[in-house]
Amino acid sequence: MAYCTLADIIADAVPEKIVAQCSNDTDPNTVDTTIVNNLIAEADEFIDDYLRDRYTLPLSNSHETIKRLSITITAYNLQRRRGKVPELWQKSYDDAKATLLQLQQGKLTLDEGTSSSDRPPKISVSTKTQVFSDTVLGAF
């Protein structure tokens, strides 16, 4: 199931006229739903690529965060079909990727009803640089 719909994109991000102009190569007054649905599927696969190692897919719950990410990425890809992406959409896309990275790294989490023991373990590695060598310490 898609994380967002055409109606979500029009209601929350991009006016229908702009969606039509960015999606339809022959009639800029009509939304090409096939193109939009393909872009939604691409955005959702992009999102899943980030979530795959941390969560069981498909997600069992609906998440407003994931819906917003799908809307943002799809809107960016719509704009990209026409060449230059406006700076606002580029920033929104970059922010969406940063959020996905945080989800992937476990800095943000989705409520999927899993306990912390079901999640992949975090591994922290640190090393200490030896300040004093055996020779210096031997002089004391």
> Hey, what amino acid is at 1?
M
pLDDT of the residue at 68: 97
CA distance 14 to 131: 58
Q: What is the pLDDT along the chain (140 residues), one digit of tens a residue?
A: 899 999 999 999 999 999 999 999 999 999 999 999 999 999 999 999 999 989 999 998 999 999 999 999 999 999 999 888 999 999 999 999 999 999 999 999 998 865 344 555 556 666 777 777 777 777 76
Report yes or no on 127 lying in a domain: yes
Report yes or no on 44 lying in a domain: yes
Total number of domains in the chain: 1
* pTM, entire model: 0.79
Report yes or no on 38 lying in a domain: yes
Report yes or no on 88 lying in a domain: yes
Report yes or no on 1 lying in a domain: no
Range of the domain at 37: 6-112+119-138
Q: How many CA atoms lie within 13 A of 99 on its CB side?
A: 19
pLDDT of the residue at 117: 44
